[in-house]
């Protein structure tokens, strides 16, 4: 009888260990995927910020821009820089829309949780509130990035139009 209990108990121990290893492996895969996504986003931000820095270094100073909106020192972006800036702006807008959808989902999940005396539901509610706050903060940050990129694109367009020669047909 004891040998039967031991033989029946052993696979359970192994399966619990296997489940733990599987969970750990899944967690590591998720972390790796998150880090890869972060690396790609940082690369895009770097290329966009380099383009923005180049444009800002060639743009007039804030005091000069207040005196005249169209200064002769503003330079147009190259085709590659403009494309990188457009791609970054599109990526920021897409990420912003994703964040907004996540915020709506978190708010719906938060409304579904009922406040009770159970500590688990209170912890779950606190975690949802934290995630919601973090997503809202990230959405605000992305919104500001989108506005800054749109401003840089408008500034580059204005500089490109300024450098085009005037003709009878323009």
| Interval 109-167: pLDDT, tens | 999 988 788 888 889 999 999 999 999 999 999 999 999 989 988 888 888 777 777 67
- Count CA atoms closer than 13 A to 96's CA, side-chain side: 15
| For range 61-78, the mean pLDDT | 47
Between the CA of residue 75 and those of 24, 65, 71, what are the distances in Å? 52, 14, 10
The pLDDT of residue 3: 66
Q: Which domain holds residue 43?
A: 1-53
Position 155 scores a pLDDT of 86
Position with higher pLDDT, 143 vs 84: 143
In a domain, 61, yes or no: no
Pair (91, 44) in one structural domain: no
Neighbours of 160 (CB within 10 A): 14
With respect to residue 58, please indicate whether it lies within any of the assigned structural domains: no
Do residues 88 and 147 both lie within one domain?
yes
Q: What are phi and psi of 68, to 5 degrees?
A: -145, 130
On whether residue 33 sits in a domain, the answer given is yes
Whether residue 90 sits in one domain with residue 42: no
- Same domain, yes or no: 84 and 49: no
Predicted structure pTM score: 0.54
Clarify whether residues 81 and 149 are in a common domain: yes
Claim to verify: residue 88 and residue 155 sit in the same structural domain: yes
* 106 shares its domain with 44: no
């Amino acid at each position: 009888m004891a040998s039967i209990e031991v033989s029946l108990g052993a696979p359970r121990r192994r399966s619990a260990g296997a489940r733990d290893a599987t969970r750990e492996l899944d967690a590591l895969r998720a972390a790796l995927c998150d880090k890869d996504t972060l690396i790609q986003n940082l690369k895009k931000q770097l290329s966009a910020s380099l383009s923005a820095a180049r444009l800002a270094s060639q743009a007039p100073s804030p005091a000069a821009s207040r005196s005249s909106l169209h200064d002769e020192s503003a330079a147009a972006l190259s085709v590659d820089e403009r494309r990188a800036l457009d791609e970054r702006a599109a990526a920021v807008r897409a990420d912003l829309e994703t964040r907004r959808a996540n915020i709506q989902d978190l708010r719906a999940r938060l409304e579904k949780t009922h406040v009770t005396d159970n500590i688990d539901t209170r912890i779950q509610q606190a975690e949802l509130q934290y995630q919601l706050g973090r997503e809202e903060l990230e959405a605000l940050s992305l919104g500001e990035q989108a506005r800054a990129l749109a401003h840089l694109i408008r500034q580059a367009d204005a500089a490109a139009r300024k450098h085009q020669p005037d003709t009878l047909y323009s």
